[in-house]
Amino acid sequence: MIQVHNFCAGPCLLPDEVYKGAAEAVLDFNGSGLSLLSISHRSKEFMAVLEEAQQLALSLLGLEGKGYSALFLQGGASMEFLRVPYNLMKSKAGYINTGNWSSKAMAQATAFGEVSVLASSEDRNYSYIPQQINIPSGLDYVHYTSNNTIYGTQWQDIPQADCPIVCDMSSDIYSRVYDCEQIDLIYAGAQKNIGPAGLSVVLVRDSIFGKTGRSIPQMMDYAEHIDKGSLYHTANVFGIYTCLLNLRWLRNLGGVQAIEKINNQKAATLYSAIDELDYVVGLADVEYRSKMNVTFDFKEERMKEIFDTLCKEASILNIKGHRVAGGYRASLYNALKQQSVDALVEVLHAMKTKI
């Protein structure tokens, strides 16, 4: 295969051994003579996969044995924008708006009650994380997005409230040490740091349900999915198995503590170049910079064509910013190697001789 450096924001890179293991299972799953794509989602072989994936999903974040359930659902994080208020909103919920995905989550919640915007960074194009937020009592839950994929900002702390805390952790889950036990419901689209697109992973404290007073369709009911062990409907067998391979890889690497050190180094390498080079501009405020999604641009429009050409020559792919934000974005998810970051930094420095 051609050696490329893929900075895609999602679906993202997975470790080489995960690709290999998933490919082998498609041909012959665990020596069964059957393809992974053809085994029953209720077979003992897949039940073992699902149970191990659920266990690792919780244990890697320190949530095993703490009253949480792990769900592997279909629809991605966008489905959870809807499921969360369906299950938790009785009359009023608080949302902190730090980007496009927060806004989409808020839009879904308005169908179930009042949405209180507790704080927003929209005034400066989502370049920072609001601080000193006054969260009133009596809300059904508070929702925030831990890492803002499009704008390149990231929370360092966790909002405090007298109600359940809900976090969309799609783009930085399993990337850093974070006190997840302070959060009552974590959801994430799998396609950032967990597995292939099409799945959402939900880690939820079991005690927060049953308080809305509404009748919830079974497909949307978290309690129903917990009761059925993520098997209310036919499971995404391939997706969950690939997630398991990736979670095993992370465990064998040393867990979240180990990958955080690697991720910190990758981010430091790239941000150092951005700050050093006077023709590059970081788009997020320094104190709120994401270590997963680094956003930047150039001071002059003509520099973009030079950069694009050099990236193509260096086999650097998917570096353009999101269509709503423009500029450039380098996504540094767990499986991205330091060599790829070094290649990007080399291109940034090479522009000196071209401009």
Residues belonging to the active site:
101, 168, 192
Omega into 217 within 30° of 0, i.e. cis? no
From the CB of residue 74, how many other CB atoms can be counted at a distance below 10 Å?
A: 15
Please, what sign has the CA dihedral across residues 337, 339, 345, 347? negative
Contact, 189 vs 165, CB < 8 A?
A: no
Quote the CA–CA distance of 106 and 96 in Å, as a whole number: 9
Could you give the maximum distance between any two Cα atoms of the chain, in Å? 66
**Helix (H), strand (E) at residue 200:** strand 199-205
> Which residue type is seen at 303?
M
Cα–Cα nearest to 267, from 153, 128, 125: 153
Residue 265 burial class via C-beta count within 10 angstroms: exposed 0-12, middle 13-18, buried 19 and up: middle
